[in-house]
Amino acid sequence: MTPFVSVEGLSKTYTARSLLRRSRAATHAVRDVSFAIARNTIMGLAGESGSGKSTLARALVHLDPPSSGEVRVAGIPLARLGRRGLRKARRRMQIVFQDPHGALNPRLRIKYSLGEALANAGVPRRERRARAVELLRLVGLGPEHLDRYPRAFSGGQKQRIVIARALAGKPEFLILDEPVSSLDVSIQAQIINLLMDLKQRFGLTYLFISHDLSLVSYVSDSIGILQDGRLVEYGPAEQVLKQPRSEYTRALFDASPAMHRER
Ligand SMILES: Nc1ncnc2c1ncn2[C@@H]1O[C@H](COP(=O)(O)OP(=O)(O)O)[C@@H](O)[C@H]1O
Ligand SMILES: [Mg+2]
C-alpha cells in the first residue's frame, strides 16, 4: 500500500522568549511523530487537552512549519514545495476546526464566505454561485441560505457551512480537529453522519481528531494516541481498542462518554 498521507519524525517546538530571564522556554508540543494514512480511510487521533493534537494538525499541512520531520501528501514532500506550490497543494488538504463560530466572518453573507473559498480554489466568477449552491446542497442546506449572515444559523448549521467551504477546492484529505466538540450531543451524530457520507461520496481521506476516544473509535480505521506530544499508541483501530499498549489509552477510553462505546 502506498500511503496517501505519510508523516515521518514530525516535531514541533515552540520557544517563547521570556522578558525576565535570558533563557528561552521550549515547549515540545509534538515529538518525533510518524504515521501513515491509506487513501479513503480514517485515522483517528486522540489525546487529552494540551497533548499536541492541534499543533500536529497545523504542522502536518505546514500552516505552522514543523521543527523537523517530513510530510508527504500523495507522494509529494511538502517541505520541498515553494510558497506557490504549497498554496496549490493546500487545496488538496483542508482543516476543519472545532469552533464554527470563530471560523466564519460574522460580517460576510454565506455566499461571500463560500465565494472567497471558491475564488481561492480558482473557480471563475461566473461559476461561483452555482458551485456555492452545490456546496450547500452537499451539506444539507439550500440556496435560500446564501444571503444570510452566520448569526442566522445554529452551531450545527454553521459547522455544515464550514465543511461546505472546506470542500470548495475539491480536497482529497481533510483534517477534522474536534469537529463536533462544540456542538450539542444531539447534533453531533448528524455532523458525523454527514462527514461519513462525504467521505464515501468523494473518496476522501480523514485525520479525525478528538479528545473523546470513544468517538474516535467509532469512526476510525486506524488510531493514534498522543500523550505530551508523543504518539504512545498507533495501529489498526481493532488492535488499539482490544489490546492497548499503554495504560494512558485505557484511561482515555474510560474517561470518554459511553455513547459510542458499543463498537
Ligand atoms: N502558538 C503556540 N505557542 C506556544 N505554545 C503553544 C502554541 N500552540 C500550542 N502550544 C502549546 O503546545 C502544547 C500542545 O497544544 P495543542 O496542540 O493546542 O494541544 P491539543 O490540541 O491537544 O489540546 C500545549 O502545551 C500548548 O500550550
Ligand atoms: Mg486542540
Per the domain annotation, does 12 fall within a domain?
A: no
Domain count, the chain: 1
Mean pLDDT of the chain: 93
Residue 225 covered by a domain:
no
By C-alpha distance, which of 82, 93, 87 is closest to 5?
Answer: 93
pLDDT digits over 136-190, tens only? Answer: 999 999 999 999 999 999 999 999 999 999 999 999 999 999 999 999 988 999 9
Residue 126 lies in a domain: yes
Q: What mean pLDDT is predicted for residues 74-103?
A: 90
Distance 195 CA to ligand 2 centre (A): 19
Name the residue of 10, 12, 14 to mutate for ligand 1: max ligand atoms within 8 A of Cβ. Answer: 14
Whether 129 is covered by a domain: the verdict is: yes
pLDDT band at residue 94 under the 50/70/90 scheme: very high
pLDDT on residue 263: 44
Q: Ligand 2 is a single-atom ion; what residues have CB below 5 A from it?
A: 53-54
User: How do strand 222-227 and strand 42-46 relate by DSSP bridges?
Assistant: parallel
| The C-alpha cell that represents 121 in the structure block | 480554489
Per the domain annotation, does 53 fall within a domain?
no
Atom of ligand 1 nearest to the CA of 52: 17
139 lies in which domain range? 104-170
**pTM recorded for the entire structure:** 0.94
Atom of ligand 1 nearest to the CA of 16: 4
Residue 228 lies in a domain: no
Nearest protein Cα to ligand 1, atom 13: 29
Asked if the structure places residue 118 within a domain, the reply is yes
Number of Cβ atoms within 10 Å of the Cβ of 159: 30
Smallest-distance ligand from the CA of 26: 1
Q: Using pLDDT thresholds of 50, 70 and 90, give the confidence band for residue 83.
A: confident
Residue 6 belongs to a domain: no
